[in-house]
Structures are given as structure tokens and as C-alpha cells.
């Protein structure tokens, strides 16, 4: 695995997965709907060159498809409330 995308990267599980992947020298695309939280995540990892982010909503499948085009694996860490599931 060379590149991974983490959906819900700014949540509790997502943050841990991002950290673990970077520790394993894997390029990470952090995916989330809050740009301010994604930028904070970047800061927390000292703007590691292996970490980038894509803004999007997991309910818009095309944004995931577009964001994941260069990823080898997808980690689904987004917390979807039961009431929001289709």
C-alpha cells in the first residue's frame, strides 16, 4: 500500500488511523467535510509531506470517487448517525 484515503479523518478513529499510517510511511489523503478541522489535522502532523486533504461529504459518492482516484485503499472512519443513513 502506497497511498490511503481516510474518510472521516478528523474524528476520533480517523485521527488514530491517519497517525498510524503516517508512522508506517504511507501517504495519506484525509477526507472530511470541515476544512478548518482538516487544516488543524495538518498542523498537528507538522504539515507532513505525506499528508494531504480533500474536502467532501460522504453522502456525495462522487466526491469520494474523485478524492480516492490515487488511493490504493480506503479507510471508512466516518461516523454516520443512524437517522442520516439512507
CATH number of the structural domain spanning residue 52: 3.40.50.720
pLDDT of 86 reads: 59
**How many C-beta neighbours within 10 Å does residue 76 have?**
15
User: Contact at 8 Å (CB) between 30 and 51?
Assistant: yes
Nearest CA to 7 out of 22, 29, 27, 24 is that of: 29
Nearest CA to 31 out of 2, 65, 72 is that of: 65
Q: Provide the number of structural domains found in the chain.
A: 1
Question: 58: domain range?
Answer: 3-84
pLDDT of 30 reads: 98
Say whether 51 sits in a helix, a strand or coil.
strand
Q: What predicted TM-score, i.e. pTM, was given to this entire model?
A: 0.90
Per-residue pLDDT tens, the chain, 86 aa: give them: 899 999 999 999 999 999 999 999 999 999 999 999 999 999 999 999 999 999 999 989 999 999 999 999 999 999 876 665 55
pLDDT of 81 reads: 66
Amino acid at each position: 500500500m502506497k497511498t490511503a484515503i481516510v474518510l472521516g479523518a478528523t474524528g476520533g478513529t480517523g485521527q488514530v488511523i491517519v497517525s498510524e499510517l503516517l508512522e508506517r510511511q504511507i501517504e495519506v489523503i484525509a477526507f472530511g467535510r470541515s476544512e478548518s478541522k482538516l487544516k488543524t489535522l495538518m498542523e498537528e502532523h507538522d504539515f507532513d509531506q505525506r499528508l494531504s486533504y480533500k474536502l467532501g461529504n460522504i453522502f456525495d459518492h462522487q466526491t469520494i470517487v474523485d478524492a480516492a482516484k490515487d488511493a490504493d485503499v480506503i479507510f471508512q472512519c466516518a461516523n454516520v448517525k443512524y437517522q442520516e443513513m439512507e
